[in-house]
DNA sequence: GCCTATAATGAAACAGATTTTCATTTTCAA
DNA sequence: TTGAAAATGAAAATCTGTTTCATTATAGGC
């Protein structure tokens, strides 16, 4: 196990996985522990490399399968990268959005956007019925500003 | 050439490509014409199939290379799909965002979001300097509501 | 604690998307 | 018109992600 700075959240995830009918295996525990404690989004291969430090015979296939389970349960979400494919990150809680550091990848969760006026105006102008919105901010974290 | 409903914009793109040092080839013209006139985002293979109707010996590699050029010049942008890889679309002009139909893919460009209050509050709370934002709305277009 | 049904794993093969290589063709400025 | 250089397209290579299947680990019943 790594330093496990947040055992409570790890346990919550494991409990939810078990409740949902999944078995708690060693590879699963390792992957959950890494994701819960990561300050930034991780790609499958990154997660695989980190995971093998804890559990050397981990397979990349298991990483993909575990990410699918966690995404299905809403515990992680995809973060789309500007260039290519996406990475995974602890999901936002309720109505939160992401603020990502463009230099180090540090992620910050925020809430408090009220876009209803914009939605109404846009719906009226376009004739669309608006169902969802997707908002993400980019910037420099406190560390990376120097 | 297809029906070419907007020759002016096609010409603008070609002029900008030429100014940037690119040669105006037949495959390039075909791809630009399709993208300028598309009402929805297209994937590379879709674009390839459409392109071959106009220019049968078009290669898929050329589609990829042309999309790179157009993206580099800011003429097209990627649209991230919920599941996997992205598609390409005429880029927004200035400060516009996208509203996409979840059923037929129809795209609508809109402007008028004022998120400055949110940016200020979030910057203060997080210590980040905010550089960019990414906002995309999803809904049902007028046609798809029935 | 031991046993067993079955879920989960990982190696290998497969599939799909994108990139690289390289010989040939096309563009465009002289 | 000509030729240097850019662009093209076929084929091979690379990278991601998925499927298959034999083996292993888990959880629940004893
Ligand atoms: Mn919101
Ligand atoms: Mn994406
Ligand atoms: Zn940073
Ligand atoms: Zn529609």
List pLDDT tens digits, range A78-124.
887 777 778 888 888 888 899 999 888 899 999 877 888 889 999 99
Q: Kindly state whether residues B80 and B105 are assigned to the same domain.
A: no
Answer whether A134's CB lies under 8 Å from A141's CB. no
Looking at the predicted structure, is the pLDDT value of residue A2 above 80?
no
Cα–Cα distance between B99 and A82 in angstroms, integer? 18
Are A73 and A117 in the same domain? no
The answer to the question of residue A34 being in a domain is yes
pLDDT of residue B23: 98
B51 and B12 inside one domain: yes
Q: CA(A21)–C1'(D30) in Å?
A: 22
Chain C nucleotides reached by a protein CB under 7 Å:
7-12, 17-21, 26-28
Q: How far is CA B130 from CA A30, B118, B121, in A?
A: 34, 11, 11
Cα–Cα distance for residue pair A46/A91, rounded to 1 Å: 18
Do B46 and B86 belong together in one domain?
A: yes
Residues A128, B108 contacting (CB under 8 angstroms): yes
* Contact predicate B79/B88, CB 8 Å: yes
CA-nearest residue of chain A to B116? A113
Question: Between β-strands A87-90 and B129-140, what pairing exists: parallel, antiparallel or unpaired?
Answer: unpaired
**Do B17 and B82 belong together in one domain?**
yes
CA–CA separation, A103 vs A143, rounded Å?
A: 10
**CB contact set of B13 (below 8 Å; sequence gap of 6+):** B32, B36, B70, B75
* pLDDT given at position A4: 58
Structure-token pair, residue A74 = 């809403």
Residue B16 belongs to a domain:
yes
Closest chain B CA to residue A131: B139
Question: Tell me, what CATH number does B111's domain have?
Answer: 3.30.1490.190
Q: Are β-strands A129-140 and A97-101 bridged in parallel, bridged antiparallel, or unpaired?
A: parallel
Same domain? For B113 and B70 the reply is: no
- The pLDDT value recorded for residue A86 is 81
pLDDT in tens, B84-142: 668 888 888 888 899 999 888 899 999 877 888 889 999 999 999 999 898 889 999 99
Residue B108 phi, psi (nearest 5): -130, 130
User: What is the rounded distance in angstroms from the CA atom of residue A40 to the CA atom of residue A31?
Assistant: 14
Residue A107 lies in a domain: yes
Whether residue A28 is contained in a domain is answered as yes
Residue B33: inside a domain: yes
In chain B, how many domains are there?
2
Model pTM?
0.86
pLDDT at A145 (0 to 100): 95
A36: in domain: yes
Query: Alpha carbon of B21 to those of A134, B18, B56, B71, B130: distances in Å?
Result: 36, 5, 26, 15, 34
**Does residue A73 share a domain with residue A17?**
yes
Same domain, A13 and A84: yes
Strand D contacted by A43 CB (< 7 A): yes
Q: Decide if A125 and B136 are in contact by the 8 Å CB cutoff.
A: no
Mean pLDDT of B8-28: 96
The distance of A1 to chain B (nearest Cα, Å) reads 30
Q: Across chain B, what does the average pLDDT equal? A: 90
State the residue range of the domain holding B61. 7-90
Tell me if B135 and A138 make a contact (CB, 8 A cut-off): no
Q: Using pLDDT thresholds of 50, 70 and 90, give the confidence band for residue B81.
A: confident
The CATH number assigned to the domain holding A69 equals 1.10.10.10
**Do A136 and A101 form a contact (C-beta atoms < 8 A)?**
no
Pairing of strands B97-101, B129-140: parallel
Does residue A40 reach within 7 angstroms of strand C, measured from its CB? no
Residues A113 and A133 both lie in one domain: yes
Question: Which run of H or of E encompasses A94?
Answer: none
Same domain, B58 and B31: yes
Same domain, A100 and A127: yes
The Cα of B109 is separated from the nearest Cα of chain A by a number of Å equal to: 9
Does a structural domain hold residue A33?
yes
Does one domain contain both A61 and A115? no
């Amino acid at each position: 196990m790594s330093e496990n700075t947040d055992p409570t959240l790890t346990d919550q995830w494991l409990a939810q996985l078990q409740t949902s009918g999944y078995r708690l295996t060693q590879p699963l525990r390792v992957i959950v522990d890494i994701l819960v404690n990561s300050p930034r989004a991780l790609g499958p291969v990154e997660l695989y490399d980190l995971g093998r430090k804890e559990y050397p015979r981990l397979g990349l296939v298991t990483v993909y399968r575990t990410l699918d389970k966690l995404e299905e349960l809403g515990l992680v979400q995809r973060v789309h990268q500007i260039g290519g494919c996406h990475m995974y990150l602890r999901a936002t809680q309720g109505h939160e959005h992401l603020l990502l550091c463009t230099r180090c990848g540090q992620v910050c969760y925020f809430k408090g956007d009220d876009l209803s006026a914009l939605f109404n105006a846009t719906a009226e102008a376009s004739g669309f019925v608006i169902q969802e919105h997707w908002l993400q901010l980019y910037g420099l974290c406190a560390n990376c500003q120097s």
